[in-house]
Each structure stands twice: as structure tokens, then as C-alpha cells.
Structure 1
Amino acid sequence: MELTEATGEDPTAPYFFLSYARIPRTRPDDPDPDLWVHRLFHDLCEHIHNLTAHPGAPGFMDRAMQAGQIWSDELTESLGGCRVFVPLYSPRYFISPWCGKEWGAFTERRARHREQDERGTPSAIVPALWSPVPDRRLPDCVREVQYTHPELGDRYRTFGLYGLAKLRSFRSDYQKAVLRLAMRIVEVGESVVLERGARGGLSTAHDAFGAPPAGAPPSGRRLRISIAAGCLDELPEGRSPHYYGPTPLDWNPYRPASDRPLAEVAAGIAARLDFRPDVAEFDHTSAPADAPEVLLLDRWVLRDPQQRARLREFDGNDRPPTGLVVPWNDDDPDGDDTEHELAAQVDATLPRRARQAREASRPAVRGVPDERSFQEVLPRVVHWAEGQFLRRARPRTSSGQVTPRFRLGAPDGPNSYVGEHRPGAEKEDQNERA
């Protein structure tokens, strides 16, 4: 890396970093739902090429990266060296922990004005409105950042760049807005100097949007997703490194058919179900979740005695029932001779969780063979885990009284009636079944 003496900037780093919330495909063979974001990115790059003499790449967006170590390193380097951070505001953006981490990592870089006589707090964030977001839904950490850009026009504020790009009658409005956005990026890039970002990577960054913004869905719509998987530093016995990255969050069991870490796929599915996903590495010592929880288990870690001990302790804890999903790639050559051994180890290590998980979805425990199946199985497990969590959390009344239960934010309505609780009803049900 070569830094200029005058500013400490890396001339090989991209000029701007485009941060956006990916839209997950409903089915693997569907067209790319982020096609229009690609178009915006390429249009901005063309303008930055013509408006600057920057020797490096004009921009970076993570869609082109591969999963695992290379993807993580290049993204981290680009975020730590770019001049300008361009977040695409949308309803999905502020519920994405990945976008929150990108924002958090970038704002850790100290900024100063290039000219000493400049006033005000320097900032190298230039937001762009992709689709309208009510102000009440903005997290506190972004409310002071100007994003309406009056010079981009009234239609931009009304429809966002996505609306301008989709409607042929707004083509000229789109072109003007993108050019002016590029000019604003250059204006900021030439007036603000940033220190180089830390090399710790996004794995150490905090989610800047972690606290729910005002007007967000109630906290019951949060979802904890825990990942119990290997990584390059702790590779499971007999396992190829091809499916792993620097942390368990980089685990991708469905390579080469899928190029995304499973944690990212799961977070996208949860967001599509109107949950706010809280994705983290599995930690058997963590406090019980204050929200529904799903565990994504890499069977291969069960070959490690220490990992088995941690999972057994977790299985024995008095916690709300946890959804369990066990991905297993049928095309993975490593698994030809170990599938039955590792499947039996799931029941031996997590007997309670495995038994509960089969209530939600037997295929989830048997082994989910590909990403398409994962897209179908995970929603069933998530809704089962939510039902179990709400059932355990519902208020109890004196004997003989009936307590209606409501599922906040459930798919069939904001306050859907899902049953009632009467003390002793569970015992009566058991007697009837007997």
C-alpha cells in the first residue's frame, strides 16, 4: 500500500464505497433483485472517472466479492481506504446488521478538513435516497446527516433513485440526480481527509443501527441468529477450508452454488419476514435471548470435543426453545463417508434441541441440502421459535382466569390473536391425548 505524504491517503483505494442492503432472491433462479443498484454503481463510477484524476478504482460495492477470506479482506481494505462512504437509504438498510457494521466501521475513521479555515464538523458520508424512508425510522446516529440533497430535485425526494430509474418518463431526472450525486461525492472527497481504517475488519465493528429507531416494530420482532461453525483458524477435523472464512460468520456450506455466507443469507430471510436479525457467533455462556432464537449448526464442529461440550451445556440450559437448522450440502465431497456419523452426533449432543426442532421442521434437522431448501425451511423454523418464545413470555393470571395471547407483528396482522392461556390447560391437553 502506497500512501501519499501530503494526506496519508491510499491512491489505490476506491474513491467511494457504496453501502446498500441486498434484497434476497425469493428463488435461486430469479433475476438479480439488485440489478438497479448495479446500474447506479456503474453510472456513479463513470462520473467519478470523468470528474477526478483518482488513479485507483472509482468505487467499490461488495456484490462482486467472493465469500470467505478474499471477500472479507477486499471489502475491509476498501472500506478502510475509500475517501467517501455512500449509504443507499431504504427501509431494508436500517434493519441490516451488515450495513450497520459498515456504517460503524467507517465512522471510526477520524476525519478533518483539508483546508484549516473550514468550519463545521467534517464528514465524508454522502447518503443517497434509494427508496423513501420516514424520518421517524432513521436511527439516532444518522439523523444529523443530510440526505435529501435539494439540488437533486423534488422527484428524487419523492421517489428516490430507484423510482427515477424504473420510470422511463423520469429518465432525465435520474441522469441529473446521479450526476449531481457524483459531484457531491467529489466535493466531499476533495475537502475532507480521513485516517486509514483499522485492520480488524468488519468482524470487530459494531452495528451502528443496533438500537431500534423510533417507530420501528416492537422488540418482539427481533430475532437472534447464532452460528455454530468452524473457521479457518479452527478448521474441523477432515474438513476442507473451501467452505470457511476468518470467522464462523463467513461459513458457506453451499459453495460453489452459492457465493454468500450463510449468516448473510439467513439475515436476509429474517429481514424479509419483518424481523430485525441479530447475527452472532454461537456462545454457550451468553444470556438467554430476549427474542426468538435460531441456531445454525455446522455438523462438522461436532468432531471437536470442546465444541460438543459447549453445545451439550447449551442443550441442558433452561432457555426458551431454540430453532435448530442443520445445513448439509449433498454435493460436498467431504461428506460422502461422514454424513450418518455426524447426523447421529447431532442427536447425541443436542437431544433436547433436536427433539424440539423436529416439531418445527424435520428437514431442518435431517440436513438442508442447498440454499433453495434453506430459503424454504428457515421461515418455518423462525415462526415456530417465535411462537415458543411468546408462549413462554406470556403473562400468567390467577387460577381459572383466561389470558388472551397476541402475537405482535405476526404475519397475519400487527396484533394477531393466536390463542389463550388457562392455567392447567397443558395438563388437560396431555390427559386428552392420553
Structure 2
Amino acid sequence: MTNSPAFFVSYARDDVKHEQFHENFKTFIADLGARVAGLLAIPIEDAYFVDENIATGELWSDQLKNALMNCKASIVLYSPNYFTREWCGKEFQILLDRCKQGEGVTGIIPVRWLKTIPELPERAAQVQYQDGRLPPEYGSRGMRQVVALRATDLRLYEDVLEVLADRIVTAVQNQHLTPLANLDFATVKSAWPTAGNAVPHPSHVRGNISKTCFVFLASEGWDWKPYEPEKWGIGALSQKIAGDLGLRYEEVRCDAALAQKLKETYENDVPTVLFLDPESLGEAAVLQSMEQYDEKYYLNCAAIVPWEADVEDKIDTDTRWIALQTMCPQKVGDPPPYHEWRTIFSQSALEERTAKLIEEIRSRLMKKLMSGQSRLPTVRRAEDPGMSDTAAAIGISTGSLPSLGSPDR
């Protein structure tokens, strides 16, 4: 193999220690490498570099050092482990430093190795993570599971490989990473805090109008599918919309910190979309979140409720709609801009309207940022005893409830 592989593989060793996970990892890298080699017309041994020998704390080999200095692209396997490992942070920082200034950081191709990943550290948030071409199942399962299920869903596996291989080839052909003449590992600082001193990082406040945050107020969270049997879950659909608009994507969890995080996205001019599942209105975390949200007036936020198609002609008598009016009397009674409480009844309408609302918010924020306009004051929510009584009659409490957090994905 040469010192200039087409792509370098950066990953957390702990993620592949288990025998079956290791087999999935090797299969994925080998299959991806074969595709890249074919597309670039190079020997397969020159397609990629992956080091499976180095352990935490060991000195990096000359072979790894040369590959890291001269690779033409890199894939990075995102996982909870990855963002707490010093060596992973060092590799990531070296790759980040090699990205051409002013041309984005497309020489680094993130791979969602596990379906659950933490909030991205500031350095990682600089990299465009989402790609609307990737199938939604990739986001809901993670690449490791996609590899494991290839025997029963080969098409999905091949579709993901095709997108990732195309991104690698594009980075190679456009020389998105500049080679390094020398490298001193001892002086390289990790791109993030290590496990021993990691601190929560509010990445949701960074990026301004270059990103969109999404909140899934649903029992199923990221996996909720508003319109069965459509294949798109709400998380994958959100990623697709953000990718199609050329924006970064980030999920903000529905938990006890949601109200504070929404305030922070408002203060930092980050467009934010809240999707509400009507079937989850009885969930304590959803109820409390909506009541708290109704008290504020954030013009960076859009709130969208997708309803079933057969509800359109009878929504006025739907108990969920009555309950929603009780939870959010201010927002529903006198809707601010960017709120769709009862107008979405199909998947296509959901996707189209969400994209439009994001662009409208971004346009407003751009004008505000350019003019130096100060923030609008927050507004307290209205109270409607009549609606509260109606909600109570159908078994929905509107009192203050403890925060339970959203279910795991």
C-alpha cells in the first residue's frame, strides 16, 4: 500500500472489540474500499488505510502517521465512544487542519456508526454531517446495524455504500485534504475533551442560520412515522430536509432542559422546528414542554403538527385538537408566524411546508443579523379556564407535571 490511501478510517477501538462488531466493521470497510477502488481505478490495497493494532496510549506507527498525513479523504465513525477518546480527537484535529480553507471540510465524511450519538463537540459540528441522499433507515439504525442486516436487506446496505463511496471519490478528485510535510503527534491537541474531563457542550447554539435544530415531541422520538406506511420517520425526514437545504442538522431532545435550549437557540439565531405527535399529547414530557413553549414568543421557532388525512374534515371535534388548544392557548388562539397547527394532512405537505418555514425563518434572521435588530420580548401564555375544563373532561390534565424526559431512540 502507498502512503497516500484514498481514504483514512478514524474510529474508536472500543466500538469494534466485540467479535461480531469487529466482523461488521471489517466487512463495511472492505466493501466500501472495493467500491472506491473501482470508481477511482486504483488497486484495492491503495483504497484505504485502517489501523487495527494501536491501543489507547500506544505510540502511533510510522505507517499510520504517513497515512494520516497524506490520505486524500477520511471517513469518521461517529459514536458515543468516539467523542470521548483522546486519540480519536487527535486524528480528527489533524484531518480538520488539513481541510482547505474557505472550501468547507468535505474531505471528512462522517458515518453514523451507531443510531445514537451525543451532541457533537464544537469541532465536529463544523463538518457537514447529514446527506439527504442517504436512506432514512441508515439514520434510524446506524451503519453497524445496516451491515449486520445486509443478508436480509442488501439493497439498503448497497445504497448507503454508494452514497459514501461517491462522497469519498468527490473529496479525492477535488483534493479537499492538503498533504502535510511533517507531523508531531506530541504537539497535537485533541479536538474535544477526553472522557476524564468532558463537559457538556451546547452545540445547538452554534451555527446561526447555517443549521436547523429539530425537536421531536413524540413517544417514539426520532423513529416516529407520522404517515404510515411511508418509509420516512420524522428524524430521517428532518435530516433529508436539512440536507436538501444545505444546512446542518441537530436534534434537541425533549427533556427537562428543552425550555432552556429553546431559549438558547432563540438567543443565538438558530432556526428550530418542533414536530408534535398528536398521539403523544398525554405524555408528561410532551405536555410540560408544550405548556412551557406556549409561554414564550420565539421567532426562530416553527411548530408543526401532522394529522392523519381522515381527520381533516372533523378536526374541530377531535379530542386531541381540543387538548392541544388547552396546552397552548396563546399559540393556537393567536398563532405567531411559522406555526402549522391544523393544516398538515400528508407526508408531501409536511415535507414541503417544513422546508418553506425553515427558509422563511432563515430569511427573517438574516435581516435581523444584518440590521442589528434587538430581540422581541417574550410573551406569557394566556389562560383559558373553559378549555381546561374541556380537557379535564376527556381525561387530560393540564396541571404542572414533572419532567420525565423523552424515551430513548
TM-score range, shorter chain: 0.3 to 0.5
- Give the alignment's TM-score, normalised by structure 2: 0.43
